[in-house]
A and B are shown apart, each in its own frame.
Chain A
Amino acid sequence: MNIVVCGKIIPASTVTIELDPNTKRMVRKGVTHELDPAAASAVEEGLRLSEKHGGAVTLVTMGISEVTIGIRNALAMGVASAVHILDDAVAGSDTLGTAKLLAAAIKKQPFDLVLCATESSDSYSGIVHGQLAQLLGIPALTFAKEVTADGGRISIHRQSENGYDVVESTLPALVAVSSGINEPRYPQLKGIMAAKKKEIKVYTAADLGLAADQVGEKGAREKVLTIGRPPKREAGKVVTDEGEGGKQIADFLAEIKVI
């Protein structure tokens, strides 16, 4: 089973996000990046499936040159090779532009299964995988908290409002996994060494057959007008527990008549 994992590499969780008032986007250039933990779960699931059923795992990602560190991390985890869509012209792509680029890159190799995160930990839109499945013409199984493959079929446990649904389809298919589906492995030294020799193919939008007006800001159907910080709640009183902390909260709640 050949598996493509679409994963995003995002500013590290330790980085304080800066907003650029001109582009109305997050500042990514010069910022330390890491493989999105949500994407790491998709990578891990891909590796587990390939260990069980054979076949190679390929990572497909898009981003500025700062994302290379995250690609290396996925390769060190055990991914066989990577595809990096790297092109200034794709900056500001909306979700559809992104999906078009990813779909074109995925189509360049044989695949039975495409794995994605449900949503990235930075933009949180959760839109791309649905569009990607449409573009690839394959069924999408989403919110997966368990994945099993059997012959030409795939079966998942899909998180529902009050439990889960068992959803099945034939392959090829796209599966979007929930973040808690597994505990992604840490790369071992051997993997880190091996990763240095693995191939990262780099494509531009033109390489993928996409014209400049289909991607980037020009191709976007949504436009960001303004961006700013959300309003903060007013901070209240903070006390340090000296044995009375529990009672103090209770008294406060009684005082403002919440209980």
Chain B
Amino acid sequence: MSEANGILIVGELIDARLSSVTSELLNAGGQLAASLGQPLYAVLLGTNLQNAAQEAMSNGASKVFLAEHPLLNEEQVEAHVTALQQVAEQVQPSILLIGRTQLGRELGPRLAFRLRVGLAQDAVALTVEPGTQRLLVTRPVYGGNALAVVTMKRKPQIVTVRPKVFEAATNDKTTEGELVRVAVEIPNSVVRSRVVERVAQETAGVKMEEARVVGGGGRGLGGPAPFAELEKLAKLLGGAVGASRPACDAGWIDPRFQIGLTGKTITPELYIAVAISGACQHMAGCSGAKVIVAVNHDTEAEIFKQARYGVVGDWRKIVPAFTEAIRELVS
């Protein structure tokens, strides 16, 4: 068997375009490729992949593998794993990067299992160890209470990478990339669960993950109604509303607004944490915010150790006053 070579990025598409996470992986992978002196590759799965392949090349991929199959247009994990296994066995990369998205979180473990290799989940930093050329992966463990640096014994070294940790690649590369079609076989027997319906719950206003300002509510709000108060504030600032896991678990707000280790990662200019204690699981999803301000009744709340400005008191009084003061400032 030839020596494993190259960094392979598993691309994800949104409306036939590269997802932002894919672009971030191409940037991260490009840096690893440069320090290892290895090529940067991407693999795209689905149909009608031409435009996205061009995007991947302008983002730095020197070779783009196309696994074309209609089943790969669905978020069907087994079909994706089967296809990726075949691509990985043909390409034999030394490193394989997957976004830690809903699909990626499922692909990583299954692919590692099939290829009989290890896996590092939820990377927040990637470096190459001088000398050994091993990949060193930094990942949060124990609910964000600790950071571990791990290595993997076999190749490919598979890593799922947390979204929004790396900048997106710039699309200015002039690489004359090569397109390689890989004939993937996906037997029908592989697909044992099917998506029978997709229900989209549209959100009015700005998307939380892209908002410049996010107002987050936690357990201390005590119910669903107070989120309307946060909504008012967020709207005034052109922002969006989010929540901690306890608030979502209690059913006060839909889980798609959950910020944290299990939920989404946000990187706004301003995060307003209201009645949120600041457990590390939550902070893992919002520590990329430029400025955090917090309102909590508990002087000892962990959130005050992380906020630029904190007010101890009753959110019922503070948030409406804050909203009023903002209204005056912006008018």
Contact status A164-B199, CB under 8 Å: yes
A218–B154 Cα distance when bound, in Å, is 14
Q: How far is the CA of A118 from the CA of B250 in the complex (A)?
A: 17
Pairwise interchain contact B119-A127, C-beta atoms closer than 8 A: yes
Interface string of A220-259 (1 = CB under 8 A from B): 1111111111101101111111011111111111101011
Q: How far is the CB of B33 from chain A (nearest CB, A)?
A: 22
**Residues 152-204 (chain A) with a chain B CB within 8 angstroms:** 155, 157-170, 173, 178-180
B41 located at the interface, meaning its Cβ lies under 8 Å from any Cβ of chain A in the complex: no
Which single residue of chain A is at the shortest CB-CB distance from B237?
Answer: A259
Asked, given contacts A160-B102, A258-B269, whether A121 binds B143 with beta carbons under 8 Å apart, the answer is yes
Whether the pair B151, A223 counts as a contact (CB closer than 8 A) is: yes
CA distance A139 to B150 in the complex (A): 29
Query: Is A148 interfacial (CB 8 A cutoff)?
Result: no
Q: Report the minimal beta-carbon distance from A206 to chain B, rounded to whole angstroms.
A: 23
Shortest beta-carbon distance from A169 to chain B in Å: 4
Q: Of residues A118, A166, A248, A249, which shows the largest number of chain B Cβ atoms within 10 Å of its Cβ?
A: A249
Q: Are B195 and A123 in contact (CB under 8 A)?
A: no
If over half of A's interface residues share one DSSP class (helix, strand or loop), that class is named, otherwise mixed; here it is mixed
The residue from B75, B248, B291 contacting A180, defined by CB atoms under 8 A apart: B248
CB-based nearest A residue for B317? A241
Interface size class of B (residues with CB under 8 A): 35 or more
Answer whether A236 and B309 are a contact pair too, CB < 8 Å, given A124-B261, A130-B110, A131-B109: yes
Let me know if A69 is at the binding interface, CB within 8 A: no
Let me know if B102 and A166 touch, CB within 8 A.
no
**Does any Cβ of A come within 8 Å of B140's Cβ?**
yes
Q: Which of B110, B153, B290, B308 contacts A222 (CB 8 A)?
A: B153
Q: Which of A124, A169, A233, A240 contacts B194 (CB 8 A)?
A: A169
CB contact under 8 A between A259 and B326, given known A17-B146, A164-B199, A245-B321: yes
Question: Is there an interface contact between B311 and A249, defined as CB atoms closer than 8 Å?
Answer: yes
Q: Does B200 contact A (CB under 8 A)?
A: yes
Q: Say yes or no for B196: interface residue by CB 8 A criterion.
A: yes
The segment out of B47-55, B90-98, B299-307 that lies at the interface is B299-307
- Would you call the interface of chain B mostly helix, strand, loop, or mixed? mixed
Roughly how many angstroms separate A122 CA and B141 CA in the complex, as a whole number? 8
A126 within 8 A of B: yes
Residue B251 at the chain A interface, CB threshold 8 Å: yes
A255 closest partner in B (C-beta)? B309
A224 contact from B148, B305, B321, Cβ within 8 A: B148
Least Cβ distance of B250 to chain A in Å?
A: 8
Question: Chain B residues in contact with chain A, CB under 8 A?
Answer: 75, 77-78, 101-102, 105-106, 108-110, 112-114, 117-122, 136, 140-154, 192-203, 237, 245, 248-251, 255-256, 261-262, 269-270, 272, 280-281, 287, 290-293, 295, 299, 304-314, 317-326, 329-330
**Listed A/B pairs (28) with beta-carbon separation below 8 Å:** A94-B118, A119-B262, A124-B140, A131-B109, A138-B192, A139-B193, A142-B106, A160-B200, A161-B101, A164-B201, A167-B194, A169-B194, A178-B255, A222-B152, A227-B141, A233-B306, A238-B309, A239-B312, A240-B313, A241-B311, A245-B317, A246-B318, A246-B323, A249-B272, A251-B325, A258-B269, A258-B270, A259-B330
Chain A residues in contact with chain B, CB under 8 A? 17, 19, 24, 26, 94-96, 118-119, 121-128, 130-131, 134-135, 138-143, 145, 155, 157-170, 173, 178-180, 220-230, 232-233, 235-241, 243-254, 256, 258-259
